[in-house]
Amino acid sequence: MEKELQVYIDGIYYPKSQAKVPVYDHGLLYGDGVFEGIRAYNGIVFKLKEHISRLYRSAHTLMLKIPLTEEEITEAVLETLRKNSLRDAYIRLVVTRGVGDLGLDPRKCPKPSVIIITDTISIMSSEAKEKGISTVISWVRRHPVDTTTHEIKSLNYLNSVLAKMEATAYGADEAIGLDKTGAISEGVGENLFIVKDGKVFTPPSSTGALAGITAKLAIEFAKNLGYDVAEANITPFQLFTADEAFFTGTAAEVVPIREVNKRQIGNGKPGPVTKKLMAAFEKATSDRAFGVPIYP
Ligand SMILES: Cc1ncc(COP(=O)(O)O)c(C=O)c1O
């Protein structure tokens, strides 16, 4: 029988089938917690430092004190991967508020919990990369910046879940969320970009979009390739009439969008800028300079 994956919970490793969260954990009761989704490619944890740093920024905003230093949590992630002999992996790092009472006051939760799940990855199909994906703009608005904004990578993902369900119901691959003014914000777990007249645009954080690590890299690559890149409000009209559109994200990597609410984007095929960024990103995932090795 295959050995079960080991899950790290507060310094102890449990087999996947026995890795459990107490029912009084406010992460479960109130979505009170933060997380990161990280990937390892061929023995290198891609952009690990940046993910850990964002985890601490999310926690800082929630006044959630992570009981480990950044160095300790980095080592715990690497150790969990080693325990599971993984080289290519999806890593889910979660910090919950911890066990409290049934009220929502976080002061009743003395000890936040750190959970590290490392598993194999289900990657986007090569067809999605080659042909692009279909999307729908959802009726569910992204949370405004003065609510449970997605700038915080918190355990509140119901907004994304609802939008994803809608995309599925309409037979689309993915959903796009608008901010409360009607401007494009992001996907359910991806940042969005458009290309118009050779310029690259992405919505600002004021739309409630997460500061994506893949997005930041895509911006760097686009600039290195000589393109102008700007943060800008993008209307649904501007998205429908863009020359190209694509998503970026840890899970999605760089993926072309071929259709939005049944409107074809550009000529309906991945455009030249998107293709160059996909190639640059793929190259980066096999470059040790972009990550931390699991096995020294
Ligand atoms: C809401 C949301 N937006 C965007 C992203 C993409 O961010 P990143 O490239 O850092 O994975 C994610 C995934 O982490 C996300 O959950």
pLDDT by residue (tens digit) across 178-190?
Answer: 999 999 999 999 9
Any idea which residue has 């995932």 for tokens?
A: 285
Centre of ligand 1 from the C-alpha of residue 189, in Å = 5
- Tallying the residues shown for the chain, one arrives at 296
In the numeric block, which tokens belong to residue 25?
């954990």
Note whether 6-119 and 126-285 share their fold.
Answer: no
Is the per-residue pLDDT at 1 higher than 70? no
> 45 CB under 6 A from ligand 1?
no
What does the mean pLDDT of the chain come to?
Answer: 97
Ligand 1 centroid to Cα of residue 215, in Å, is 8
Measured in Å, residue 191 CA sits from the centre of ligand 1 at 6
- All structural domains of the chain with their residue ranges: 6-119, 126-285
Please identify, by atom number, the ligand 1 atom nearest to the C-alpha of residue 250. 11
Among the atoms of ligand 1, which is closest to the Cα of residue 50? 10
For residue 121, what pLDDT is reported?
Answer: 84
Q: How many Å apart are CA 155 and CA 35, to the nearest integer?
A: 7
Amino acid at 163: A
Over the stretch 117-173, which tens digit does the pLDDT of each residue have?
A: 999 987 778 899 999 999 999 999 999 999 999 999 999 999 999 999 999 999 999
Residue 56, amino acid: Y
Mutate to test the pocket of ligand 1, among 151, 191, 290 (most ligand atoms within 8 A of CB): 191
Strand 113-119 and strand 6-9: the pairing is: antiparallel
Tokens 């300079």 -> residue: 289
| Res 216: pLDDT | 98
Q: 144 alpha carbon to ligand 1 midpoint, in Å?
A: 16
- pLDDT digits over 7-49, tens only? 999 999 999 999 999 999 999 999 999 999 999 999 999 999 9
99 lines ligand 1 (CB under 6 A): no
Between the alpha carbon of residue 71 and those of residues 68, 134, 241, the distances in Å are 8, 40, 46
What is the residue type of 254? V
Q: Which residue has the tokens 């918190």?
A: 154
Q: How confident is the model at residue 3 (pLDDT cuts 50, 70, 90)?
A: confident
Question: 215 in ligand 1 pocket by Cβ < 6 Å?
Answer: yes
164 neighbors 157 (Cβ within 8 angstroms): no
> What pLDDT is attached to residue 276?
98
- For domain 6-119, the question of CATH label 3.30.470.10 is answered with yes
Query: If one looks up domain 126-285 in CATH, what number appears?
Result: 3.20.10.10
The response to whether residue 174 sits with its C-beta less than 6 Å from ligand 1 reads: no
Give the residue, by CA position, lying nearest to ligand 1 atom 15. 189
List 116's β-bridge partners, or say none.
8, 93
Query: What percent of the chain has a predicted confidence (pLDDT) above 70?
Result: 100
Q: What is the pLDDT of residue 67?
A: 97
**What whole-number distance in Å separates Cα of residue 259 and Cα of residue 270?**
11
Q: How confident is the model at residue 270, as a pLDDT?
A: 97
Counting beta carbons within 10 angstroms of the beta carbon of residue 110, is it exposed (0 to 12), middle (13 to 18) or buried (19 or more)? exposed
Q: Report how far ligand 1's centroid is from the alpha carbon of 153 (Å).
A: 8
Residue 70 · residue 78 · CB < 8 Å: no
- Could you list the active site residues? 153
Tokens 């194999």 belong to residue: 120
* For residue 280, pLDDT beyond 90: yes
